Amino acid sequence: MRSKWKGVLAAGALGVLAVVAVVIVGMALGGGSNGTTTRAAYQKTVVNARDRVDFALELITRSRSPKELIARLEEASDTVGGAADEVARAKVAAGFSDENDSLVTALRGLSDDLSGTAATLREPSLAGAVPGINSLSYPEWTKINEILSDLDAQGVHVQPLARH
């Protein structure tokens, strides 16, 4: 019986050593908790966020009534805010922390601007002016495109937001 327990203990010790080795190797290869990832994985995160934002902005242009315009502005605000949260939570490739922080800030700013526009357009005194709106412009849209352009120039390939 004694030799059986020695074997069980030895197997258990080997299992623990194997787990420790896997954790150490994983951390050495960038899988640790330092918040970094590969450039390709980071690019995927940024492209996904950009695509979500661009789609939400495009939907605003398809509005057919003042009520629908306001609803789509609110939806776009939620989508852009969600994209900002996604980018804020994402692991960032080494060397891109500043750009990531700037992108999060600009996305949150655009989300706030969209929400503010919806709130303003809901004002009864502006009801007659809403049907005459043919364009909206946001400085944060330009800022986001500047950041995306900087990322693209540094090898994180992402298209700018389209004009809609």
Domain ranges for the chain? 1-34, 36-153
pLDDT for position 30? 42
Which helix (H) or strand (E) segment holds residue 36: the answer is strand 36-37
CA distance 127 to 130: 6
Q: What is the mean pLDDT of residues 62-83?
A: 96
Check: CB of residue 114 under 8 Å from CB of residue 73. Answer: yes
Contacts of 109 (CB under 8 A, 6+ apart): 140, 143
CA distance 156 to 47: 9
Average pLDDT, the chain: 84
pLDDT in tens, 82-103: 999 999 999 999 999 999 999 9
Please determine, for residue 130, whether its predicted confidence score (pLDDT) is greater than 80: no
Confidence (pTM): 0.77
pLDDT for position 9? 46
